[in-house]
Structure 1
Amino acid sequence: MEYRPLGTTGVEVSALSFGTAPLGQLFGPVPFEQARAAAFAAVDLGMNLIDTSSYYGDAEDRLGRIIGDLPDDVLIATKGGRLGWDEFDFSPDGIRASLEASLARLGRDHVDLFQLHDIDFVPLGPVLEDAYAELVRLRDEGKCRFIGMTGYALPTTRRVLLETDVDVVLNYSHGTLLDNSLSEELAPIARERGTGLMNAAAVSLGILTPGVLRMDGHNIASDASLRAAQAMARTAAEHGVDIAFVANQYALQRVQCDTTVIGSTNIEHLTAATAALTTPIDEELLAALLQSRLPTEAQQWDVGLPENNVWDWGDGETT
């Protein structure tokens, strides 16, 4: 396992972090013993950050049952403010209540990192002002060591980086084989600001997997991204390679971030993702795959409020 500084927080994080949405049964039933085994396998593989959320089903409750058996140096990160698929509460009182409830479920008096979850879906003004101020208060009170925000849209994460002094940001699906705008657009700002940068959804929420060839649509990914992913999957298959493995290789070896969150309760998948960190990329195959990558602006997904997705691409055009 490789370890990297998490911005200027003073802590080092594993290149892979353990994501717990599947552990919390967000995508279907998972027996507790399987969830427990996956968490300990991730730690045994060297992952020292566990990323969870109050939104991830019963993930926090399950972690609370095993957290006392984990090594003391494992970092626990959780999120608040997202209550459901389309329900959010980023008010100061709501944020505070969310963290208190998370701490109770986890059996902790503090977490290492507390982030606001998927802020793209609400007007950003109050989030970047009132909600951010509450995060600072919670950090000052010792309820969390570090604070941050998460989102999908590049413009949203860019605003967080430029308009607040959060310790960490997490962005989904922009540090991938399909779209590496996380490195191109966000990483330079994060480095300048000293902000930790977390990457998530290395397989683009499931479309950089062999199963994409059976998909005729996706609930979040754009049609353009789906077609590009299908072209990549066909190319990988022609080379006898699993597109998901190459996608993890790319995210872990080429994307400029401090850690990439891998969510799975399948120990074989966790082990394969860890192997992707050190297995050299087949440059000829990579070049062939990247032939299917669209221009960055064409890869962006319409997630959250339209106003939070507006981006100036430097040519006078906004999308």
Structure 2
Amino acid sequence: MSGLRRGFMKNWFAVEALPIYAVVGIVVAGGSWYLTRLARGPTIVWTKENPTPWNDIKPNEGTKLVTVNQHFDKGLIFGAAAFSAQYNEDTHLASDVPVRTVRAALRYGINAFDTSAYYGPSEIVLGKALRAVQSEFPRQSYLLVNAPNFFSSMEGPILMISQMTKCGRYGLNQSDFDYSPATIRRSVERSLKRLYDTDILEDGQYLDVVYLHDIEFVCEQVQPPDAHYHALALTPEKAAEYGLAESDKARIRGPGDQVILDAVAELQKLKSEGKVRNIGITGYPLHTLLRVAILVHHKLRQPLDVVLSYSHLNIQNDTFGHFLPEFKAESRANVAQVIAASPLNMGLLTPRVFPWHPAPDELKALAQNAIALSAQNGDGSSIVDVALGYSYRRSREMGVPMVVGLSQLHEVHQTVKAWRRSVLEDIVRESFGSFKDWSWASP
């Protein structure tokens, strides 16, 4: 060991050490700044000069958390309602997290996105996120599906981006619903601009699906006073009380029903113009959705392409399956595609239930008990894991796509993990071939 080195090790404050300390200080300070910025998430402004976030990972950098464009079952739909103030703070929506979340979903193969004019900035955030990732998922490579039964027609690893939005509802109050044909048309055109992130629409730009949003607030109310178990509406004894008797198929119950029919007729015009490829309705009460879908089919002589109901295919409420045959039957609603949404029951099946959730306190208390039961299992499973696994298994059994709200990267990874588990169960079961359900002799 040289005399200089021995002297340095004896005296850490030697003059010779100062350059080393300077370099170490710069590295530590720079690393701290980077980690702090990464943790906070900068406010991102999407412009022509800055189309992607500052920490964007390009596909050719060899750093990928997930496989790009792998074959994926088209049963999951990205629910972008979470890109709103109801679920997230403005700082979150203005950060780089939405674009990273959308990109992760696309890399997994989730390529259908559900949003609404009612969800505040959701359409804007989603449209800008899709444009921000266009270097990896270019707009010109999108194959927007136009078959009425568009989910069942998707096959293979071809990239298909499906944009779905809603119109007619624009706020929390009854006065915030406007189903007039003129407003429906303006709303669709505004959604097109938002989702294509443009001020001027071009020929060939269209939306895959446009729904009338939450029709139960507009149509006539046809149900008994205490209608909490929707499956009762399908029984012969109760069908007439819900307007589901065979003789009610083309019956307009009042001005609310006519408003719905006029709005659907306007969507049909937009469809004939090529601005919309599929039209439908959404809402919560299954019996109301079914009654209106039947009415549209038999009064306008043209069935709806798609119907979406939320919070009815989950571990707390699994009523959806009872209604599915009625929606699909040619003699009833004849709907080509039925979609379920919210496997976590609008957040009820999560540790953080939002104050605005419509569930009564007794149900919220039972949901908290379910959270505790899941935690006691001892294998690290949460109520979210249990609820997602249940809903995805059931939706796959029915062949029904599921809309799941996503706004964070970890939520994308968690939901794909649960989905893959349900897929793997089917693969393993089918692997037994002719020995599936086979029993050996005993004795």
- Which TM-score bucket, shorter chain as reference? 0.7 to 0.9
TM-score (norm 1): 0.77
Once the 2 structures are TM-superposed, how far is the Cα of residue 194 of structure 1 from its aligned partner?
Answer: 4.1
Q: 1:236: which partner in 2?
A: 374
Please tell me whether residue 134 in structure 1 is matched to residue 223 in structure 2: no
Distance 1:134 1:161, change over 3 A: same
Alignment of 1:30-41 (within 5 A): 30=92, 31-41=94-104
Q: What secondary structure, in the 3-state scheme, does the structure 1 residue paired with 2:99 have?
A: helix
Q: 2:412: which partner in 1?
A: 270
Q: 2:193: which partner in 1?
A: 104
- For 1:275, the aligned partner's letter is K
Which protein, 1 or 2, shows the higher relative CO under an 8 Å CA cutoff with sep ≥ 6? 1
Is the contact between residue 171 and residue 199 of structure 1 (CA under 8 Å) also seen in structure 2?
Answer: yes
Once the 2 structures are TM-superposed, how far is the Cα of residue 280 of structure 1 from its aligned partner?
Answer: 5.2
Q: 1:92: which partner in 2?
A: 181
Among residues 294, 307, 315, which one is paired with 1:162 in the alignment?
294
Is the contact between residue 161 and residue 189 of structure 1 (CA under 8 Å) also seen in structure 2?
Answer: no
In structure 2, C-alpha distance between the alignment counterparts of 1:225 and 1:141, rounded to whole Å: 46
Residues 119-178 of structure 1, C-alpha deviations (whole Å, 9 max, x = no match): 121234034311111111111111110001110112221123322211111111011100
Q: 1:174: which partner in 2?
A: 312
Please tell me whether residue 227 in structure 1 is matched to residue 365 in structure 2: yes
Q: 2:35: which partner in 1?
A: none
Identity %: 34
Please tell me whether residue 117 in structure 1 is matched to residue 255 in structure 2: no
Please tell me whether residue 82 in structure 1 is matched to residue 169 in structure 2: yes
Please tell me whether residue 249 in structure 1 is matched to residue 336 in structure 2: no
Among residues 7, 15, 18, which one is paired with 2:75 in the alignment?
15
In structure 2, C-alpha distance between the alignment counterparts of 1:94 and 1:198, rounded to whole Å: 25
Among residues 44, 52, 76, which one is paired with 2:107 in the alignment?
44
In structure 2, C-alpha distance between the alignment counterparts of 1:225 and 1:196, rounded to whole Å: 31
- For 2:341, the aligned partner's letter is A
Alignment of 1:281-300 (within 5 A): none
**Bigger-Rg structure (1/2):** 2
In structure 2, C-alpha distance between the alignment counterparts of 1:90 and 1:80, rounded to whole Å: 8
Distance 1:44 1:163, change over 3 A: same
Q: 1:198: which partner in 2?
A: 339
Once the 2 structures are TM-superposed, how far is the Cα of residue 189 of structure 1 from its aligned partner?
Answer: 1.8
Q: What secondary structure, in the 3-state scheme, does the structure 1 residue paired with 2:164 have?
A: strand
Please tell me whether residue 189 in structure 1 is matched to residue 326 in structure 2: yes
Distance 1:223 1:155, change over 3 A: farther
In structure 2, C-alpha distance between the alignment counterparts of 1:248 and 1:131, rounded to whole Å: 34
Is the contact between residue 98 and residue 129 of structure 2 (CA under 8 Å) also seen in structure 1?
Answer: no
Q: What secondary structure, in the 3-state scheme, does the structure 2 residue paired with 1:175 have?
A: coil
Once the 2 structures are TM-superposed, how far is the Cα of residue 225 of structure 1 from its aligned partner?
Answer: 3.0
Residues 66-113 of structure 1, C-alpha deviations (whole Å, 9 max, x = no match): 434145121011111111111111111111111011112223631111
Is the contact between residue 210 and residue 242 of structure 1 (CA under 8 Å) also seen in structure 2?
Answer: no
Q: 1:148: which partner in 2?
A: 280
Q: What secondary structure, in the 3-state scheme, does the structure 1 residue paired with 2:312 have?
A: coil
In structure 2, C-alpha distance between the alignment counterparts of 1:105 and 1:234, rounded to whole Å: 42
In structure 2, C-alpha distance between the alignment counterparts of 1:134 and 1:195, rounded to whole Å: 20
Distance 1:66 1:236, change over 3 A: closer
Once the 2 structures are TM-superposed, how far is the Cα of residue 200 of structure 1 from its aligned partner?
Answer: 1.1
In structure 1, C-alpha distance between the alignment counterparts of 2:362 and 2:264, rounded to whole Å: 35
Is the contact between residue 25 and residue 59 of structure 1 (CA under 8 Å) also seen in structure 2?
Answer: no
Is the contact between residue 173 and residue 179 of structure 1 (CA under 8 Å) also seen in structure 2?
Answer: yes
TM-score (norm 2): 0.57
Number of aligned pairs? 268
In structure 2, C-alpha distance between the alignment counterparts of 1:152 and 1:50, rounded to whole Å: 19
Once the 2 structures are TM-superposed, how far is the Cα of residue 224 of structure 1 from its aligned partner?
Answer: 4.3
Residues 221-241 of structure 1, C-alpha deviations (whole Å, 9 max, x = no match): 233432332232221121132
Is the contact between residue 112 and residue 162 of structure 2 (CA under 8 Å) also seen in structure 1?
Answer: yes
Is the contact between residue 19 and residue 261 of structure 1 (CA under 8 Å) also seen in structure 2?
Answer: yes
What is the alpha-carbon root mean square deviation over aligned residues? 2.2
Is the contact between residue 203 and residue 248 of structure 1 (CA under 8 Å) also seen in structure 2?
Answer: yes
In structure 2, C-alpha distance between the alignment counterparts of 1:257 and 1:222, rounded to whole Å: 31
User: After the TM superposition, which of the residue ranges 103-112 and 235-244 deviates more from structure 2?
Assistant: 103-112
Is the contact between residue 179 and residue 260 of structure 2 (CA under 8 Å) also seen in structure 1?
Answer: no
Q: 1:58: which partner in 2?
A: 121
Once the 2 structures are TM-superposed, how far is the Cα of residue 218 of structure 1 from its aligned partner?
Answer: 5.3
Distance 1:58 1:45, change over 3 A: same
